[in-house]
């Protein structure tokens, strides 16, 4: 088989190994692929591995040998799934590889905000502690997590991992989910969205983005939250109306936000969240620990192995 990796750099900038692909044939890895480069690079490909490079019906129609598209992420909205199915092309995703890493990032943001880690590090380096008359320096309120309510919107694999960590901090766990109550552990209280907004001290988003929840965190939702509330988003940037969140932060409607995703990535310079107070943004790296990326490659190889053997492909999303 001829294998082409369209945008391999974000997954493997050089610290991992692509050589497992040798098991299946000849492979070529490109760091990035523009839309105008797809056909030339993949004209003879049997297999394409891609993350953000889009695969439309028109593109697939110009790749006569294409039999398999492996998406290097859990989400696969970059692929026209209906077209792939119609053309008999298998499409696989890579589920659950980043669960622990994303849950860890949720608490990196929560702890940074509640303990003001970035602020105090900056103050120390600017000499503020050195000039203090006391053995410590403190000019903000610090917040203990024990007893606070964490509202998890979307109680899937990552949401459940976040809940387990939160229990270790002594937080009360609330969740908005469509799961049956039989699937929810006793320590988790199921609430409506309005109840999550009104009651929870920290709200963390873990639902997939679709036409029903685009911009769900908007001015109306934010007004329902506590003035001390912290919003965390490691899910999809489109879940938040960014101008509404910027207004809410600047006007003290909620206390702070920790975001690893934005609606446009990388962001444009006019994104309102880039200049707003109490908004802490990381550049879509929750998934990107080395352990997580290693698991991703392992799952991709497993998907290819199932395809190559001619059996059922577990993670086929174009069935």
pLDDT 10s digits, 225-274? 999 999 999 999 999 999 999 999 999 999 999 999 999 999 999 999 99
Other C-beta atoms closer than 10 Å to the C-beta of 89 total 20
32 and 166 inside one domain: no
pLDDT 10s digits, 61-86? 999 999 999 999 998 989 999 999 99
6 and 123 inside one domain: no
**What's the rounded mean pLDDT across residues 221-225?**
98
pLDDT of res. 39? 97
pLDDT 10s digits, 156-196? 999 999 999 999 999 999 999 998 888 899 999 999 999 99
142 and 196 inside one domain: yes
pTM greater than the 0.85 cutoff: yes
93 and 224 inside one domain: no
CATH assignment of the domain containing 46: 3.40.50.720
Position 50 pLDDT exceeds 90:
yes
pLDDT 10s digits, 196-215? 999 999 999 999 888 899 99
pLDDT 10s digits, 110-145? 999 999 999 999 999 999 999 999 999 999 999 999
Residues with a catalytic annotation lie at: 236, 265, 284
pLDDT of res. 9? 97
Q: Total domain count for the chain?
A: 2
163 and 77 inside one domain: no
27 and 108 inside one domain: no
Range of the domain at 298: 2-97+289-309
127 and 211 inside one domain: yes
70 and 214 inside one domain: no
92 and 107 inside one domain: no
pLDDT of res. 196? 98
64 and 118 inside one domain: no
pLDDT of res. 89? 97
């Amino acid at each position: 088989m001829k294998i082409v990796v369209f945008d391999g750099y974000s997954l493997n900038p050089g610290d991992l190994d692509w050589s497992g692909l040798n098991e299946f044939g000849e492979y070529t890895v490109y760091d990035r692929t523009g839309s105008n480069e797809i056909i030339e690079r993949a004209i003879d490909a049997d297999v394409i591995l891609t993350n953000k490079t889009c695969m439309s019906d028109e593109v697939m129609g110009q790749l006569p040998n294409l039999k398999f598209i492996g998406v290097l992420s859990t989400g696969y909205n970059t692929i026209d799934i209906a077209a792939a199915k119609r053309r008999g092309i298998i499409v696989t995703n890579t589920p659950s590889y980043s669960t622990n890493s994303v849950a860890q990032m949720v608490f990196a943001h929560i702890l940074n905000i509640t303990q003001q880690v970035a602020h105090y590090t900056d103050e120390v380096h600017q000499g503020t502690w050195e000039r203090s008359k006391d053995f410590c320096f403190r000019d903000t309120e610090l917040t203990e997590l024990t007893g606070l309510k964490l509202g998890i919107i979307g109680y899937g694999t990552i949401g459940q991992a976040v809940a387990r960590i939160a229990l270790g901090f002594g937080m009360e766990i609330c969740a908005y989910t469509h799961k049956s109550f039989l699937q929810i552990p006793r320590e988790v209280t199921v609430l409506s969205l309005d109840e999550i907004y009104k009651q929870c001290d920290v709200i963390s988003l873990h639902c997939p983005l679709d036409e029903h929840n685009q911009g769900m965190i908007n001015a109306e939702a934010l007004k329902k939250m506590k003035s001390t509330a912290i919003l965390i988003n490691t899910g999809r940037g489109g879940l938040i109306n960014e101008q509404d969140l910027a207004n809410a932060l600047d006007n003290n409607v909620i206390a702070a936000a920790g975001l690893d995703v934005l609606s446009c990535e990388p962001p444009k310079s006019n994104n309102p969240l880039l200049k707003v107070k109490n908004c802490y943004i990381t550049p879509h790296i929750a998934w990107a620990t080395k352990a997580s990326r290693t698991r991703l490659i392992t799952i991709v190889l497993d998907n290819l192995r199932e395809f190559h053997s001619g059996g059922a492909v577990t993670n086929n999303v174009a069935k």
